[in-house]
Amino acid sequence: MFRVNEDYLKLPGSYLFSTIAKKVSAFTEANPDKKIIRLGIGDVTQPIAPKIIESLHNSVDEMAHAETFHGYAPDLGYDFLRNVIAEHDYKRIGADISADEIFVSDGAKSDSGSIQEIFAHDSKIAVCDPVYPVYVDTNVMAGRTGVYDAATGKWSNVIYMPCTLENNFVPELPTETPDIIYLCFPNNPTGTTLTKEQLQVWVDYANKVGAVIIYDAAYEAYITEENVCHSIYECEGARTCAIEIRSFSKNAGFTGLRLGFTVIPKDIKSGDVTLHSLWARRHGTKFNGAPYIIQRAGEAVYSAEGQAQIKEQIAYYMNNAKIIKAGLESVGYKTVGGVNAPYIWLKTPDNMTSWDFFDYLLEKANVVGTPGSGFGPSGEGYFRLTAFGSYENTVEAIERIKKL
Ligand SMILES: Cc1ncc(COP(=O)(O)O)c(C=O)c1O
């Protein structure tokens, strides 16, 4: 008789977004005349830029003719895309990454969830708290995290690194030594970043203790400040300890198209074995390549026109971020983020819990955000608003919050 993977049963359930949906639909049913504004979503709302659409049309047409038809893509990605990524995202900023160290995929969620497969079963992971839930949950599914304590919201075999106002959202080096360290900067949910010097501390630490950093840079395109790294490979020594994961979702609106990539330098080794070779083996066995038309669309992102067009979209979202941040601060909220990221993380007023503040905002301002406690125990007492809405809705939502 078949048995299920019992590690899946340990997961506490997708409580956060289902609870939000239930609360919002109950409110809408009771108040059909109220216009709800959603500033909780992590999805983009602007359409795909014209240059990228043009490329999609062209490559769709190529599929209609035997001479230009494309079947299975190379497992690790087409050279036209890997070369332009290496050139634009790495060589141009002085980072020593070559095209054959780039693995093209269908997005950062799959990669950040699957990367744990190439590490030993008894590896110890360290995560920032609050955190993008995929890192912990995929390690739970793999049976690596011990038992869950509902009272503390923590797993017994995970090292948590709190990021709060008290430490200015800069995680401290753990006292217990991890094998795998997940870092995400600019951060979801807090919108905060590390300076180059602060990131260098982590790279030095990982090299010293023999850990690997899995660096999720999905929001890299939102960085505006000079002293914030766009890539971890700007830090010295990162080639021997860091894997970087990138996405086309937030910089170019590919949330529905699906494209991303992971960089694994050949210098990260355990004995004679490179992580690069294991991920190549994994990709070859479990992944049949991102679609040709989507990789061509990704290539168009790097064209001069594509770059200009996506920069406009990012500026649109970052203008929303500025409105949210300035509006909240003008009425006394303490906020972080919104400068190098499309997320604004606010401290709830009067020591309200994250969920109390969610209810308060929904009922009094008809605005939906995301309770910080849903991202980890240290998110309690915080709340996330996102800049991915329309300008008009963002302005209206903030005006309503200011009047509370
Ligand atoms: C930190 C982080 N990593 C990865 C992703 C997923 O990216 P993708 O759409 O490429 O799967 C998200 C999406 O919200 C995210 O916030």
What is the band of 311 on the pLDDT scale with cuts at 50, 70, 90? very high
Output phi, psi for 215, to 5 deg: -105, 110
Residue 216 token pair: 């999720």
Non-local CB neighbours of 104 within 8 Å, separated by 6+ positions = 76, 77, 78, 81, 82, 85, 259, 260, 261, 289, 290, 295, 298
Cα of 8 vs centre of ligand 1, distance in Å, is 21
52-304: CATH number: 3.40.640.10
* Mean pLDDT in residue range 324-336: 98
Average pLDDT over residues 189-216: 98
Q: How many C-beta atoms lie closer than 10 Å to residue 162's C-beta? A: 16
Give the pLDDT band (50/70/90) at residue 362. Answer: very high
Domain boundaries, the chain: 6-46+307-402, 52-304
52-304 has the same fold as 6-46+307-402? no
For 187, half-sphere exposure in the C-beta direction (CA atoms, 13 angstrom radius) is 29
Lowest-confidence range among 3-12, 181-190, 330-339?
A: 3-12
What Cα–Cα distance (Å) separates residue 164 from each residue in 229, 324, 378? Answer: 21, 20, 7
For ligand 1, atom 2, which residue shows the shortest CA distance? 218
Question: Three-state SS for 74?
Answer: coil
CATH top-level class of 6-46+307-402: alpha beta
Which residue lies with its CA nearest to atom 14 of ligand 1?
42
d(CA 260, CA 138): 18
What pLDDT, on a 0 to 100 scale, did the predictor assign at position 14?
Answer: 67
User: How close is the Cα of 108 to the center of ligand 1, in Å?
Assistant: 5
Whether 226 and 284 have beta carbons less than 8 Å apart is answered as no
| Ligand 1 atom closest to 260 (CA) | 10
* H helical segments located in 228-380: 249-252, 275-286, 292-301, 304-330, 354-365
**Which residue is listed with tokens 């699957």?**
114
What confidence tens digit (pLDDT) does each residue in 104-134 have?
Answer: 999 999 999 999 999 999 999 999 999 999 9
Backbone phi, then psi, for 360, in 5-degree steps? Answer: -60, -45
259 pLDDT band, cuts 50/70/90, is very high
Lowest average pLDDT, out of 41-45, 114-118, 309-313, 330-334, goes to 41-45
Instruction: Report which protein residue has its CA nearest ligand 1's atom 1.
Output: 188
Cα of 30 from ligand 1 centre, angstroms: 34
Q: What is the pLDDT of residue 18?
A: 85
Ligand 1 atom at minimal distance to the Cα of residue 248: 10
Give, to the nearest 10 degrees, the angle between helix 15-30 and helix 354-365: 30
Q: Which two tokens stand for residue 150?
A: 């509902």
Please name the residue whose Cα sits nearest to atom 16 of ligand 1.
Answer: 188
For 1-44, write each residue's pLDDT tens digit.
Answer: 999 999 999 998 767 888 899 999 999 999 999 999 999 978 99
- Tokens 């594509």 appear where? 306
Average confidence (pLDDT) over 276-304: 97
Mean pLDDT rounded to a whole number for the chain = 97
0.95 exceeded by the pTM?
yes
Helices (H), 4-89: 6-9, 15-30, 50-62, 79-85
Residues with CB under 6 A from ligand 1: 42, 107-109, 112, 132, 184, 188, 216, 218, 247, 249, 255, 260
Percent of the chain whose pLDDT exceeds 90: 97
pLDDT band at 286 (very low <50, low <70, confident <90, very high): very high
Q: What is the pLDDT of residues 42-77, one digit of tens each?
A: 899 999 999 999 999 999 999 999 999 999 999 899
| Composition of the chain by helix, strand, coil, percent to 5 | 45, 15, 40
The confidence score (pLDDT) of residue 13 equals 72
* CB-neighbour burial class of residue 171 (10 A; exposed 0-12, middle 13-18, buried 19+): buried
